[in-house]
Amino acid sequence: MAVSANDIKKKIIATENMSKITKAMQMVSVAKLAKTEHRVKFFREYHSHIIEILSTLKESEYIINHPFTTNNHNQQTKKIGCVIITTNRGLVGGYNNSLFKMLKESHGLDKLFVDSQTESNMDNLLFKYYITGSKGNNFANNELPKETAKLYSFPDEVHYIDTLELASDLINDYLSGEVHKIVIIYQDFISKLTQEATMQTLLPLKFKKSKQKININYEISPNMKDVGDKLLVQYVMTSLYEIFLSANLSEHAARMNAMSSATDNAHDIIKESKLIFNRARQAAITQELNEIVAGANAVN
């Protein structure tokens, strides 16, 4: 069925309006990305100081034997706590789907668990899910058993205070033996063009070996227990918040790229539609000329 020139013209106008919206959304995401990058820069300076202090104390007997750095839960049934960080809104390309895919794949959490155990028996493997973001909540309601998932609501722009409830629940569940290990699935920010679905272990803590020796002697007051407890808790909380910041960066970058692609596609559709419109108009003009000529010849 042939499309009329008027229909093509309406399509061009509608697509032009849509391209203006996607372009505006792209610019908003660019601004939010720059703002979040600024927040990340200053927060990582603070987080790096905590890592620096812990790196000098990690050889102490108290830190080595702390529940955060060891895994002494003597449970017959091992349970992994899995945090999934998703977005509240869509238009982010494959941001959330890649996280759900990682969660579903058998070589994801199962492999992580087996690698941390001496045996490969998966019969007793259980999961407890901590779901953030409305998209994750929708996924949990449709895909996960209700008794295994706890849902959390977060604003689009996450601040440190917003993560305290989740951090407190994770720490309490880990210390009480409710979960044996805590992992986080999120989109790690690699660059403005690249975001990578990542699975990171939050607890138990594993300190990376520093390439540079830090020769700083700290005076511990009042004692190692009080300082160590607070420092390790603060490290876990700030590590969780840093992951949220990276996920926020990835969301803004993913939406920026998605809207950029949508704008480019809209321009391509407009260009193609204008070509079709011009051809249709030229065909109509040619048809009218032919009819005029035929009428004149009939009179003569």
91: alpha, beta or left? (left if phi > 0; alpha if psi -120 to 50):
left
In a domain, 279, yes or no: no
Cβ neighbours, 10 Å, residue 87: 24
CA distance 296 to 292: 6
In a domain, 282, yes or no: no
Q: Is the distance from CB of 185 to CB of 202 less than 8 angstroms? A: no
Task: CATH number of the domain at 153, please.
Answer: 3.40.1380.10
Q: Residue 200: which H helix or E strand, with range?
A: strand 195-203
Q: Is the distance from CB of 242 to CB of 43 less than 8 angstroms? A: yes
* Omega of the bond leading into 145 within 30 degrees of 0 (cis): no
Q: Tell me what the mean pLDDT of segment 244-252 comes to.
A: 92
Q: Tell me what the mean pLDDT of segment 37-54 comes to.
A: 84
In a domain, 284, yes or no: no
Q: Is the distance from CB of 131 to CB of 140 less than 8 angstroms? A: yes
Query: Given this model, what pLDDT does residue 122 score?
Result: 46
Q: Tell me what the mean pLDDT of segment 103-109 comes to.
A: 64
Q: Is the distance from CB of 235 to CB of 54 less than 8 angstroms? A: yes
> Helix (H, G, I), strand (E, B), or coil: what is residue 210?
coil
In a domain, 108, yes or no: yes
Query: Given this model, what pLDDT does residue 166 score?
Result: 93
Q: Is the distance from CB of 91 to CB of 97 less than 8 angstroms? A: no
**Residues whose CB is less than 8 angstroms from the CB of residue 247 and which lie 6 or more positions away in sequence, other chains included:** 85, 186, 187, 188, 189
In a domain, 291, yes or no: no
In a domain, 288, yes or no: no
pLDDT single digits (tens) 255-267: 999 999 999 898 8
Q: Is the distance from CB of 181 to CB of 80 less than 8 angstroms? A: yes
Number of structural domains (the chain) is 1
> Helix (H, G, I), strand (E, B), or coil: what is residue 218?
coil
Query: Given this model, what pLDDT does residue 123 score?
Result: 47
Query: Given this model, what pLDDT does residue 77 score?
Result: 56
User: Which residue range is the domain that position 107 belongs to?
Assistant: 24-259
CA distance 262 to 259: 5
Burial group, residue 89, by CB count within 10 angstroms (0-12, 13-18, 19+): exposed
pLDDT single digits (tens) 187-243: 999 888 889 888 988 888 876 655 555 555 666 767 677 777 788 888 899 999 999
Q: Is the distance from CB of 53 to CB of 231 less than 8 angstroms? A: yes
pLDDT single digits (tens) 116-154: 444 444 445 688 899 999 998 888 888 887 788 889 988
- With a threshold of 0.75, does the pTM exceed it? yes
Q: Taking Cα atoms as reference points, which of 76, 162, 86, 169 lies closest to residue 128?
A: 169
> Helix (H, G, I), strand (E, B), or coil: what is residue 48?
helix
In a domain, 276, yes or no: no
In a domain, 8, yes or no: no
